[in-house]
Amino acid sequence: MSVSISSPHLQAQVSENGAELVRLQDGVGLDLLWDGNPAFWTGRSPLLFPIVGRVRNDRIRVDGSEYELPKHGFARTSRFEIDEVGPSQCRFHLRSDETTLERYPFPFALNISYRIEDATLTITASVTNTGSTVMPVSFGFHPAFRWPLPFGAPREAHTIRFDREETAPIRRPVDGLISRDAETSPVHGRTLPLHDGLFETDAIVFDRIESSTVTYGAPSGGSIRVDFPEMPHLGIWTKPGAGFICIEPWQGHADPEDFDGDFAAKPGVLLIQPGDTRSFTMGITVSSAGL
């Protein structure tokens, strides 16, 4: 089951499976989100919880015990409950249960809200520690936008522009883990020209990003601005030749190649005290103007 919300400038559909955004259209009905073609990738905009990326051997270690946890966690394959549906907003929740505790031994409440105002879709995830011990956690967004966007510009004209210069080296996944060695940033000043060659060795991981906003599009077509305040990491990914580009704000990332410690000590993990809540927000704004 999916629910629909809209404004005169934007329409969205969200599935109760994973509380995942599965369709996003502009005011004239142009599709902006990847369609999940299984020939390349079945995802559209999964939510990553309680980990981002892979952990070593797909297991986390907590107080001397190990728990099997798949890549990107289990929220994206879980059925959420619908709390609210209105014309322009909806809200979902997922609660810990026996199944989640076998993989991730922490009681939690995960609330996801979607709200459209004018041409902006705002997605907010709130994670509450409902247990009695400190809860380590990561969270990530993973929207896949069409490449090229349906505004008429050719694929090779598309870029991602950052709101600040990104001079720090990037990382790459190695067998799903974050590489020990860094690469020179492919960003030229504040602009990343997009081409398939960027992704021949998998995703680009900014583990030291300065920006909190990026704008994706082409000079002669429309654009999408992605805002991710207070999210310290960013992944950009596609499969060469696929018709999508993923712009992924993260709190946390895959295990570094040389990390083999307790989950609470994993780089990028947040520690939430009992009874406390941490929220993560991503805004998607559609413009008919080019870059």
Residue 1's pLDDT band (cuts 50, 70, 90): confident
* In the predicted structure, residue 289 carries a pLDDT above the cut 80: no
Compute the mean pLDDT over every residue in the chain, rounded to the nearest whole number: 96
* In the predicted structure, residue 290 carries a pLDDT above the cut 80: no
Q: What is the pTM of this model?
A: 0.97
Domains parsed from the chain with CATH numbers? 2-287 (2.70.98.10)
Give the residue-averaged pLDDT of 196-206. Answer: 96
Look up residue 77 and give its two tokens. Answer: 């394959």
Q: What is the CA radius of gyration of the chain?
A: 18
User: Which pLDDT tens digit goes with each residue over 89-105?
Assistant: 999 999 999 999 999 99
User: Which pLDDT tens digit goes with each residue over 105-147?
Assistant: 999 999 999 999 999 999 999 999 999 999 999 999 999 999 9
Give the residue-averaged pLDDT of 193-204. Answer: 96
Give the angle 28-3-151 at the CA atoms, nearest 5°. Answer: 25
Which residues touch 182 (CB under 8 Å, ≥6 apart)? Answer: 169, 170, 171
User: Which pLDDT tens digit goes with each residue over 265-277?
Assistant: 999 999 999 999 9
* In the predicted structure, residue 221 carries a pLDDT above the cut 90: no
Question: Hey, how many other C-beta atoms are within 10 angstroms of the C-beta on 22?
Answer: 18
Residue 220's pLDDT band (cuts 50, 70, 90): confident
Give the residue-averaged pLDDT of 174-197. Answer: 95
Q: What gap in Å lies between CA 148 and CA 219, rounded to an integer?
A: 12
More confident residue, 24 or 291: 24
Q: Which residue shows structure tokens 């018709």?
A: 243
